Amino acid sequence: MEFGLGGGHDALVDDVRRFLGEHLTPELLARVRRGGTYHDWDFHRALVAKGWMAPGWPVELGGQGRPPLEVLAIAEELQRAGAPMLGLGTTMLVASVLRHLGTAAQKEAVVRPALAGEILIALGFSEPESGSDVAAAQTRAVRDGDEWVVNGQKMFTTNAHEADYAFLLARTDPTLPKHRGLTTFLVPLRQEGVEIRPITTLSGERTNITFYADARVPDALRIGEVNGGWEVMTVGLTYERTSAAGGDSIRLLEAMEDWAVGGTPHGRSADHDERVHEAFGRAATENEVSVLLSRRSAWLDSIGELPGVEGSMAKLFSSEAITRQSAQFIDLLGPEGIRTEEDRGAPARGEVEWAYRFAQGTTIYGGTSEIQRTIIAQRGLGLPRG
Amino acid sequence: MDLNPSFEQRQLVEAFSTLYRGESTTERVRAAEATGFDPGLWEALAGAGGVEMALPLRAGGSGASLLDLALVAEVHGRHLGSAPLVEAQVSARLLERLGGAAPVVADVAAGRQILTVALAPPGSGTARGVPAAMVADAVLVLDDRCVALVGLADARTPVHNLAALPLADVRLDADPLATFGGEEARRSFATALDEWMALTASALVGLGRRALELAVDYATTRQAFGAPIGSFQAVAHRLADAATALDGATLLSREAAWASEGDPARASDLAAMAFAFAAEAAQVAGEWSLHVHGGYGFMLEYDVQLYFRRAKGWAAVYSDPGRVYAGLGARALARRA
Ligand SMILES: Cc1cc2nc3c(=O)[nH]c(=O)nc-3n(C[C@H](O)[C@H](O)[C@H](O)COP(=O)(O)OP(=O)(O)OC[C@H]3O[C@@H](n4cnc5c(N)ncnc54)[C@H](O)[C@@H]3O)c2cc1C
């Protein structure tokens, strides 16, 4: 048994940090935070140029052939620095699906430019009436010769305003049982039948509601079989499982530690405060656990096993941890803790106040905490289904 | 990173699992509750080299790593071992590092003598609540001057406790059997405490995982309102949280034990993290497993109460998690300032 990541890991981490020092400027971070779009084309293309769009893919497919733990090491550093990665994440999820299920033409028309940083793909799963129950999607797609006509609405289509395609889950046969009548498409977003309206969120992250009114998608951009959408989704969700965890709360704790040693002019004096020490020690411990849980998934991946329940544990634990920590840190800061980053006197640069808002979303998107617990209970512990 | 135990480690775990399955059944655990000590189990452990393995080759041991010991401690916890294996291992290693007399070290290695360690500094001439002190021959104590090896025969008063541990209050008025002074000795003692925390974390993990298994088994078979109770989310989701915390505690405690050789600069922090986190994870698993059993969980006849009491007691004998977290936080700030 070995917990060390090897000498190559340290060199890789140094490399990522150098890259971030050059490309993830304070101005860029401030722009992203203000605008709420967690995608930046310049930064995205710099990552592509470095080969870090798909570092785990084989070289002949445009990757670097890195093992899962190295891929995770890069992701950990990016997350910890607060880099805008949502566009890359959704695009790579779809690219992975296409790598396994796409036609040769789709790989050429979509995967190649995606890996080259030329196009972006958003996820269109959630709808006004369904989110957790993703298979309940009602958006309709009806065949019309070589094309399909799409009508309906998708909620929370993050980065649709930057993206070229939405990976859309649509109902193609309402007479079939819920999971059987679905088909997935890559719907071009820059067309007349698509309207994209911004949704502003608690953390300032921008997402979108997308309306489809007789929007058109060629059959060549259908992924998988007609009415085989659920199988495609199952493949897609498998690639969402090894993501970095704990980076946001590591950054949050660093901001708090800076505050505590920095003479806190209006806040409580933190130097000898046992409550502060306890909260910091607990947070550091929880962050170590988050990192270990996600590294376990990557390690399983590296020995050819599919992390399923393990990924749910990492997601559940890390998102619940930052939710607890951010609330507790506001309490430690006292009345000063609710000052936002716009306030020049905000303790810890307003990071804690922001994190408290941000954290709530982490327990919702990517499968809510309840959905993760159900996966762990049923598939991990073998408890009976309700 | 490789999270699989090595072939030798799997063999070690298998050998000790067989031993504990035979010598630490829940009937035996119950029978030993009055004293907290099962002499048959101890004899088997000593015979299997349970203490000797913890010593380096130079002292006639088999030089097991702390990670090897942690894997054995998981088995110990899983079977609620009524024997002070962790204390004996940790204090044997400490005595050897201190340069204790070779014949004593040899006796300890063979299990003929049991040593233990006082986890907190004594106050007014007494070390309170010393683990294993009712069954050990001598205890290693750190006071403000030195580390002292103190005989226990006439110096102890039993402490009745939640976890049926063989605890004792120890009077320190007699002359010590040996003393070890200097900075080096203090550092060795601090290392022993780290080792105790890391191994106790592993024992708590083993105990907690078994408690969770009892809960899952029960929740799968017990019916209410025409359905197995494990199909109710109020039950299932709390067990999922307990399982997640225990997986985290398993990884963390193994990492802490690994770090004693693999990453010495972080070993002390990781041991504290593992101890506090495993204490909380085991406590939650114990409480939840008990609760899932309904009224039966409250009956002494059901085994779950054995796990519930030890989950809290095995950790509380040293410290509550909050104080350990506070120590960690203070150390991190001191490094940053
Ligand atoms: C910032 C942000 C970005 C997002 N980005 C995207 C995106 O890019 N693409 C996309 O498709 N979606 C996206 N989403 C949507 C997200 O996936 C959904 O919000 C999420 O899956 C929950 O669905 P819902 O909002 O419909 O809530 P619901 O499913 O209605 O859930 C409401 C509450 O009920 C609970 N609940 C639901 N079902 C169960 C159950 N079976 N057992 C127990 N409790 C249950 C949930 O846990 C939750 O607390 C995003 C969401 C946010 C907040």
A332 and A371 part of one domain: yes
Q: How far is A314 from chain B (nearest CA, A)?
A: 8
A216 and A282 part of one domain: no
A271 and A374 part of one domain: yes
Residues A2, B9: C-beta atoms closer than 8 Å: no
Give residue A373 CA to ligand 1 midpoint distance, Å.
Answer: 14
For residue A271, tell me if it sits in a domain.
Answer: yes
For residue B110, tell me if it sits in a domain.
Answer: no
A247 and A210 part of one domain: no
Q: CATH code at A375?
A: 1.20.140.10
A180 and A75 part of one domain: no
For residue B229, the model assigns a pLDDT of 98
For residue A79, tell me if it sits in a domain.
Answer: yes
Residues A2, B326: C-beta atoms closer than 8 Å: no
Is the Cβ atom of A380 under 6 angstroms away from ligand 1? no
Q: Which atom of ligand 1 is nearest to the CA of A367?
A: 21
Query: pLDDT (tens digit, 9 = 90+) per residue, A258-302?
Result: 999 886 655 555 666 899 999 999 999 999 999 999 999 999 999
Nearby residues of A372 by Cβ (< 8 Å), 6 or more positions away: A312, A313, A315, A316, B240
Could you give the residue numbers annotated as active site of A?
Answer: 240
**ipTM field:** 0.97
- What is the chain A residue with the closest CA to B271? A285
For residue A15, tell me if it sits in a domain.
Answer: yes
A180 and A250 part of one domain: no
Give residue A132 CA to ligand 1 midpoint distance, Å.
Answer: 5
For residue B8, tell me if it sits in a domain.
Answer: no
The mean predicted confidence, pLDDT, of chain B is: 97
For residue A163, tell me if it sits in a domain.
Answer: yes
- Tell me the three-class secondary structure of chain A, residue by residue: CECCCCHHHHHHHHHHHHHHHHHCCHHHHHHHHHHCCCCCHHHHHHHHHHCCCCCCCCHHHCCCCCCHHHHHHHHHHHHHHCCCCHHHHHHHHHHHHHHHHCCHHHHHHHHHHHHCCCCCEEEECCECCECCCHHHCCCEEEEECCEEEEEEEECCCCCCCCCCEEEEEEECCCCCCCCCCEEEEEEECCCCCEEEEEEECCCCCEEEEEEEEEEEEEHHHEECCCCCHHHHHHHHHHCCCCCCCCHHHHHHHHHHHHHHHCCCCCCCCCCCCHHHHHHHHHHHHHHHHHHHHHHHHHHHHHCCCCCCHHHHHHHHHHHHHHHHHHHHHHHHHHHHHHCCCCCCCCHHHHHHHHHHHHHHHHCCCCCCHHHHHHHHHHHHCCCCCC
For residue B62, tell me if it sits in a domain.
Answer: no
Chain A residues within an 8 Å CB radius of B237: 370, 373-374, 377
CB A76 within 8 A of CB A244: yes
For residue B320, the model assigns a pLDDT of 97
- A324: contact with B, CB 8 A cutoff: no
For residue B206, tell me if it sits in a domain.
Answer: yes
A375 and A249 part of one domain: yes
For residue A101, tell me if it sits in a domain.
Answer: no
Q: Which residues of chain B have pLDDT under 50?
A: none
Residues B333, A376: C-beta atoms closer than 8 Å: no
Residues A1, B254: C-beta atoms closer than 8 Å: yes
Give residue A241 CA to ligand 1 midpoint distance, Å.
Answer: 17
Domain count across chain A: 3
Angle, alpha carbons B245-B248-B250 (nearest 5°): 110
Picking from A65, A84, A103, the residue at the C-terminal end of a domain is A84
A170 and A48 part of one domain: no
Q: CATH code at B310?
A: 1.20.140.10
Nearby residues of A127 by Cβ (< 8 Å), 6 or more positions away: A136, A137, A138, A139, A152, A153, A154, A155
- What is the chain A residue with the closest CA to B228? A384
For residue A270, the model assigns a pLDDT of 61
Q: What residue type is A136 in one-letter code? A: A
Per-residue pLDDT of chain A (386 residues; tens, 9 = 90+): 999 998 899 999 999 999 999 999 999 999 999 999 999 999 999 999 999 999 999 999 999 999 999 999 999 999 999 999 999 999 999 999 999 999 999 999 999 999 999 999 999 999 999 999 999 999 999 999 999 999 999 999 999 999 999 999 999 999 999 999 999 999 999 999 999 999 999 999 999 999 999 999 999 999 999 999 999 998 876 765 578 999 999 999 999 999 998 866 555 556 668 999 999 999 999 999 999 999 999 999 999 888 889 999 999 999 999 999 999 999 999 999 999 999 999 999 999 999 999 999 999 999 999 999 999 999 999 999 98
Picking from A84, A103, A137, the residue at the C-terminal end of a domain is A84
Give the pair of three-digit tokens for residue B52. 């000797």
For residue A307, the model assigns a pLDDT of 86
For residue A43, tell me if it sits in a domain.
Answer: yes
Domain count across chain B: 1
A296 and A337 part of one domain: yes
Give the pair of three-digit tokens for residue A315. 């997601």
For residue A97, tell me if it sits in a domain.
Answer: no
* Residue B199 structural domain: 185-336
* Residue A43 structural domain: 7-84
A257 and A354 part of one domain: yes
For residue A339, tell me if it sits in a domain.
Answer: yes
Nearby residues of B80 by Cβ (< 8 Å), 6 or more positions away: B24, B26, B29, B207, B306, B307, B310
For residue B26, tell me if it sits in a domain.
Answer: no
DSSP 8-class letter at B123 = B
Q: CATH code at A132?
A: 2.40.110.10
Chain B residues within an 8 Å CB radius of A4: 1, 262-263
Is the Cβ atom of A365 under 6 angstroms away from ligand 1? yes
CB B52 within 8 A of CB B61: yes
Picking from A57, A84, A111, the residue at the C-terminal end of a domain is A84
Residues A384, B262: C-beta atoms closer than 8 Å: no
For residue B36, tell me if it sits in a domain.
Answer: no
For residue B288, tell me if it sits in a domain.
Answer: yes
For residue B115, tell me if it sits in a domain.
Answer: no
Give residue A131 CA to ligand 1 midpoint distance, Å.
Answer: 4
Is the Cβ atom of A207 under 6 angstroms away from ligand 1? yes
